[in-house]
C-alpha cells in the first residue's frame, strides 16, 4: 500500500489507541512486523502541548519511518496548526481522528462526534491538508449510529479534499466495540473511492485478516485490540498473507523475551514509577484469555518496583517453560 511517498509493507497497520500506542508499544509492534504504527491521539489545543503526557506522545526520536501522528479536535484552524506543529516535530504522516467513540472525546465534539456534521468534516480535512506538505490520512467509523451511517459521504469528502488514505472502523459510534464489524460498509467505501482504504475491526487472527481483505477489497488491515498482549500478531498476519501458512505460536521463552524487553522500554521512557504502573495493563493483556496465566497476572500486578516486576515476570515464564504451572 502506498501513502504519498511511503510504501507500507506489509499492509498490516497498528491502529491508534489512546493510552496504548505510545512510543514503546509502537517500536515493539514495528519490530514485530507492523508496516505502520499510528501514534495515540494528540490534542489539537496548543495549551495542552507542553504537558508531560503530550510531550511523551510527541516523542518520535529514533522511531522508524514513516512516523504517523494522530491529532484530535474540532476546530479547523486549531487542527491545522496542530498538524504543522507535529510535522515540525518529526511527523511524516498526519492522521485526523474522527473515529474515537469515547464519551469524553465526543462530548467536546471531537472524534466520531464530528461525523454528525459533514460540512465541518470538509472544513477540517481541507484545512489540515492545506496546512502541511506531508500526506494526511483520516480515521472514521461507519457513522454516528445505525440510523445515520454516512461513511460513503465522508469518504467522498475525504477524497475530494486531498486525504491520502482512509481507515474505516466497521462500527458506528453508538456501537462502540459491540457486535460484529460491518465489512460490507467498508467494501462499499473501497469501491467508491480511489484512495487507499484500511479495514479496521475484529482482526484478531491471520485467517481473519485474510478474510477481511477478501471481503472488503481493502488495501490494508488495521489492528487495534487484537495487538494488545499479542504484538507478534503483525508478523503472524504478514506471514500468512504472503505464504498462506500459519506461524507456530511463540514459546514461553519467546513471549518472556518480548515482554521483558517491553517492560524495560516502558521504564526507560516513563521512569520507574509511571513505567511500572503503565506496564500493569500490558501484563494483563499478555495474560488475557489464558487460564494458566491468572496466577501471573495476580502476582505481577502486586509489584511496586521495576526490579520486582521484571523478576516476577522472568520467574513465571521460566517456570512455564519448565512445565511448572503456578496456582491461581
CA dihedral of residues 215, 219, 225, 231 (deg, nearest 10): 120
Query: Of 100, 168, 203, 310, which residue is the catalytic one?
Result: 100
- This prediction has a pTM of 0.94
Domain extents in the chain: 2-243, 252-321
The interaxial angle of helices 151-160 and 118-131, nearest 10 deg, is 30
Per-residue pLDDT tens digits for 142-170 = 999 999 999 999 999 999 999 999 999 99
The C-alpha atoms of residue 232 and residue 199 are separated, in whole angstroms, by 19
10 neighbors 37 (Cβ within 8 angstroms): no
C-alpha cell at 110: 471531537
Active site residue 106: no
The interaxial angle of helices 272-287 and 252-270, nearest 10 deg, is 150
The C-alpha atoms of residue 275 and residue 277 are separated, in whole angstroms, by 5
Instruction: Give me the sign of the Cα torsion angle 176, 38, 113, 47.
Output: positive
Per-residue pLDDT tens digits for 193-241 = 999 999 999 999 999 999 999 999 999 999 999 999 999 999 999 999 9
Residue matched to cell numbers 526507560 = 268
The C-alpha atoms of residue 49 and residue 85 are separated, in whole angstroms, by 10
Residue matched to cell numbers 521512557 = 269
Q: Which CATH number fits domain 2-243: 1.20.272.10, 3.20.20.70, 3.40.630.90, 3.90.1150.10?
A: 3.20.20.70
Amino acid at each position: 500500500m502506498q501513502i504519498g511517498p511511503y510504501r507500507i509493507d506489509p499492509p498490516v497497520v497498528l491502529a491508534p489507541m489512546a493510552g496504548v500506542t505510545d512510543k514503546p508499544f509502537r517500536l515493539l509492534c514495528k519490530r514485530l512486523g507492523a508496516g505502520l504504527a499510528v501514534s495515540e491521539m494528540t490534542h489539537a489545543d496548543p495549551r495542552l502541548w507542553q504537558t508531560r503526557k503530550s510531550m511523551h506522545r510527541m516523542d518520535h526520536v529514533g522511531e522508524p519511518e514513516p512516523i504517523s501522528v494522530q491529532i484530535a479536535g474540532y476546530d479547523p484552524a486549531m487542527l491545522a496548526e496542530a498538524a504543522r506543529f507535529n510535522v515540525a516535530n518529526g511527523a511524516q504522516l498526519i492522521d485526523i481522528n474522527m473515529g474515537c467513540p469515547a464519551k469524553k472525546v465526543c462530548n467536546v465534539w471531537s472524534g466520531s462526534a464530528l461525523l454528525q456534521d459533514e460540512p465541518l468534516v470538509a472544513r477540517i480535512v481541507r484545512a489540515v491538508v492545506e496546512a502541511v506538505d506531508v500526506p494526511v490520512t483520516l480515521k472514521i467509523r461507519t457513522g454516528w449510529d445505525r440510523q445515520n451511517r454516512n461513511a460513503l459521504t465522508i469518504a467522498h469528502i475525504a477524497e475530494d479534499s486531498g486525504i491520502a488514505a482512509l481507515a474505516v472502523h466497521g462500527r458506528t459510534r453508538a456501537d462502540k466495540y459491540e457486535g460484529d464489524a460491518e465489512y460490507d460498509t467498508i467494501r462499499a467505501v473501497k469501491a467508491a473511492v480511489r484512495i487507499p482504504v484500511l479495514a479496521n475491526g475484529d482482526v484478531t487472527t491471520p485467517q481473519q485478516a485474510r478474510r477481511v481483505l477478501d471481503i472488503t477489497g481493502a488495501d490494508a488491515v488495521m489492528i487495534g485490540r487484537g495487538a494488545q498482549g499479542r504484538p507478534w500478531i503483525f508478523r503472524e498476519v504478514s506471514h500468512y498473507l504472503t505464504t498462506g501458512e500459519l506461524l507456530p505460536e511463540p514459546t514461553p521463552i519467546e513471549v518472556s523475551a518480548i515482554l521483558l524487553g517491553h517492560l524495560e522500554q516502558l521504564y526507560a521512557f516513563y521512569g520507574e514509577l509511571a513505567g511500572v504502573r503503565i506496564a500493569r495493563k500490558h501484563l494483563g493483556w499478555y495474560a488475557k484469555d489464558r487460564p494458566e496465566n491468572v496466577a501471573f497476572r495476580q502476582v505481577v500486578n502486586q509489584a511496586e518496583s521495576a526490579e520486582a516486576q521484571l523478576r516476577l515476570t522472568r520467574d513465571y515464564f521460566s517456570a512455564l517453560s519448565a512445565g511448572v504451572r503456578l496456582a491461581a
